[in-house]
Amino acid sequence: MKATALAHPNIALVKYWGKRDDALILPHQSSLSLTLSPLSVTTTVEFGAASDQVELNGHTAKGSERDRVLRLLETVRAQAKADLGPAKVVSRGDFPMAAGLASSAAGFAALAVAGRAAAGLPSEPRAASILARLGSGSACRSVQGGFCEWQRGERPDGEDSFAVQRFDAAHWPDLRMVVAIIDRGEKEVKSRDGMKHTVDTSPYYPAWVKDAEAEVVQVREHIAKRDLQALGELCERNAWRMHATSFAANPPLSYMSPGTLALIQHLKEQRKKGIPVWFTLDAGPNPVLLTDAAHEVAAEALARACGAVEVIRCVPGGDAELKAEH
C-alpha cells in the first residue's frame, strides 16, 4: 500500500507545444527528449491514509496543484479496481523548481510509478507513461531514461499516446547538458496556459505542427549516429520555432529575457572558435546547453560569463525507479 519512486526531469530536443485534447493531455505533435541526471524528484504514495494529503517540497499542496495529483491517483484506483482508501503523497525535488526544468515532468513520472506500485499494479512502462501524461504531458517522457519519444497517437481516448525509449542513457555517455539558470524567478505564464494561448491565437502554429513529425525522425537519426553538430543545429532551430509560435500569438508571448538572448547569441561566437555548444530552451528564460564531456567546463564558464547565476551540469539519466521501503 506504500511505494516510493525516483524520476529524472527531461529536456525536449524536439518540443511538445500544444494540445489537441486539454483534459486527456493529448498533443498535436510527437516530441523527443533526454532525461537529466543527477536531477531528480522522489515521491512516496501511501494508500489507506486517514485522509487525502499532498505534500510537495515541504508544503501542503492546495487548489489545482493538489487536484492534479489526486486526479491521477483516482485513475490508479480505477485501474486497480480496489477501494484503496485516501492517499498520502509526499514529493520532493532536488533542483530549483521554478527553473523551467520541467520539475512537473519528474514529479508526475515518479507519482505514476509509485502510485501504480502502491496499488499493487505491475511495473509497465507504457501504462505508467500514459498515467504520467494525465498529470503533465512531458511527464510521460520521464518514466524511462535516455532518449524517449512521445508518440502523439491518433486515438481519442489517448491509449496510443505515450513515450517509448529510443536509446538508453548508455547510448551516448559523452553527451552533456549544462543548465544555465539566468533567472530563478517563477515564470509569468505557465507552460499550460502559454501553449493554449499559442494554439488558439498564433497564425504560425499550423506550420510548427506540420514540421514536428519529420524533426523527430531526423533527431532520432542524429542521436543514432551520435552526431552532436547535427543534433545541436536541429535542437536550436526547433527551440527557435517553438518560441516563434509564441511571439506570433495575440497578444504576443515571450519567455526569453535579455540574458537569455545574450547567452544564446554568444554561442555562435564560441562555435566559430571551435567549441561545440548549442542550446535548447523550454518555456522559460534558462537555456540548456548541449555539448560533450571535453567541453562541459568551457560551456559552464561561458554561461557564467553571460550572467548565469547558477549552472547545473547533467548527463543522460536512467529510468524512473522504485526505492526499497524501510
Q: Where along the sequence are the contacts to ligand 2P0 (CB under 6 A)?
A: 12, 15-17, 25, 31, 102, 104, 136-138, 191-192, 282-283
Minimum CB separation of residue 56 from ligand 2P0 in Å reads 15
Minimum CB separation of residue 311 from ligand 2P0 in Å reads 20
Closer of 21 and 269 to ligand 2P0 (Cβ): 21
User: Is the CB of residue 152 less than 8 Å from the CB of residue 163?
Assistant: no
Closer of 25 and 263 to ligand 2P0 (Cβ): 25
Q: Which residue is nearest to ligand 2P0 (CB)?
A: 137
Length of the chain: 326
Residue 18: which residues within 8 A CB-CB, separation 6 or more? 27, 28, 29, 195, 196, 198, 199, 205, 208, 209
What is the Cα–Cα distance from 81 to 75, expressed in whole angstroms? 10
3-state SS assignment for residue 167: strand
Pairing of strands 87-93, 53-56: parallel
Closer of 16 and 205 to ligand 2P0 (Cβ): 16
Minimum CB separation of residue 197 from ligand 2P0 in Å reads 12
Minimum CB separation of residue 84 from ligand 2P0 in Å reads 25
Backbone angles phi, psi at 305, to 5 degrees: -65, -25
Closer of 194 and 259 to ligand 2P0 (Cβ): 194
Minimum CB separation of residue 116 from ligand 2P0 in Å reads 19
Please give, one letter per residue, the 3-state secondary structure of 217-238: HHHHHHHHCCCHHHHHHHHHHH
Closer of 243 and 295 to ligand 2P0 (Cβ): 243
